[in-house]
Chain A
Amino acid sequence: MSDFLLTQIINYGAPVLGMIVFIGALGAPFPGTLIVVAAGAFARQGLLAWHTTGLIALVSVVLGDNLSYGMGHFAREAVLRRFQGSQNWAKAESTFARWGGMAVFWTRFLITGIAVPVNLIAGTSGFGIRRFFLYDLAGEAIWIFGYGGLGYLFGMQWEVVSELLGSVSGLALGLVLLGLGVWLGVRQWRIVEARKANVPEA
């Protein structure tokens, strides 16, 4: 897949890159980070103009993210019908309202594997579109210009950079899942302990 996409970018340039990151933002399993780093290298080689390419990619990916946020937003009614009144849903909404900005920001360039689910949750949980847009824009700018910049810096050796960034992103996802599991485990354990403490001794 990535080989085919790379060939299309060297043949047709920035519009194809824009399309790839746009469709990727909607949930297609494209190797986005690899493509962005490679595009940076192509810019250094004089194949793409870094400013217009960067701008097209940034606009496309932000559009894609906002569209997937919109999908979540329009699914909100159905989700509310199912979960409205549930304590867990209310808790999830308030948690996302508090931490959602950070989740949107970090999943744009570091924990990219869960970016689309975060977009959908943001839309469904009623997270404000303006806040979503700002965090999304900031995170995607780092992804496009930061990662693309590394590709630019390394030129033909961009594969080394892409491999490292992809692995770091997977590692970050693993650590987040592990942290979440430990946090939930500790919380459950505390609840069980509190219940035990409240039971009067016979």
Chain B
Amino acid sequence: MSPKVQRLVVFGLITAGVLLAVFFGLRAAFAFREFRRHGPPPFAPMEAKNHQPVETDVELIRDWMTIPYIAKMYRVPPEVLLEALSLPRSKSIGEKSLKQLNDEYFPQAEGFVITTVKAAILEFQAQAFSTPTSPVTPAP
């Protein structure tokens, strides 16, 4: 390797290294700040695991999620979500992401599916939490 090429390699490595380190260093600093704001969520007690929803914050719903997945995470019957979207229950619909459903069934209304799903979950949760539970009567 000629000295000129060697100098070019060194210059290239140092430049690429500095650029990557600055870019990812800043991203890592921001990500770390975010990381510290979000502590790991507590684990649900074993006996409550099958009854409590895994998640309640609808802002964590993303475009790549599917209706059955969301239904399971938020403990909402899939029919409630499908009904809100006026979609039938089928395997192929269950395997599509919210983005795919939006593109296929509501191409004119961007973000319609995710917004409707969030609203349907909030409504379901409000109803579920407001329903008074019958007092437990001790067995005679």
Contact = CB atoms under 8 A, between A and B. Distances in A.
A and B, one complex? yes
Interface of A: 2-4, 6-7, 10-11, 45-47, 88, 153-157, 160-161, 163-164, 166-171, 173-182, 184-185, 188, 192
29 contacts: A2-B64, A4-B64, A7-B64, A10-B65, A10-B66, A45-B54, A45-B72, A47-B69, A153-B40, A157-B41, A160-B34, A167-B24, A168-B28, A171-B21, A171-B24, A173-B20, A174-B22, A174-B23, A177-B14, A178-B13, A178-B21, A179-B17, A180-B13, A181-B11, A181-B13, A185-B10, A188-B6, A188-B10, A192-B3
Contact of A167 (B17, B28, B63): B28
Given A3-B64, A167-B28, A181-B14, A155 B20 contact: no
A178 B22 CA distance: 11
Q: Classify the interface of chain A: helix, strand, loop or mixed.
A: helix
A33 to B, nearest CB: 13
Contacts of B18: 174, 178
B35 interface: yes
A3 B54 contact: no
Interface of B: 1, 3, 6-7, 9-14, 16-25, 27-28, 31-32, 34-35, 38, 40-41, 54-55, 57, 60, 62-66, 69, 72-73, 95-97, 99-100
A164 B66 contact: no
A177 B13 CA distance: 6
Contacts of A173: 20, 24
A46 B54 contact: yes
B73 A177 contact: no
A161 B32 CA distance: 9
A170 B11 CA distance: 19
4 A-B pairs with least C-beta separation: A178-B17, A174-B20, A181-B13, A170-B24
A168 to B, nearest CB: 5
A70 to B, nearest CB: 29
A170 B13 contact: no
A184 B6 CA distance: 9
A173 B19 CA distance: 11
B54 A155 contact: yes
A156 B60 contact: yes
A169 B31 CA distance: 12
Nearest to A170: B24
A185 to B, nearest CB: 4
B10 A181 contact: yes
Contacts of B17: 174-181
A154 B66 contact: no
B13 A167 contact: no
A155 B64 contact: no
Contacts of A166: 31
A154 B27 CA distance: 20
B14 A154 contact: no
A3 B63 contact: yes
A179 B11 CA distance: 12
B19 to A, nearest CB: 7
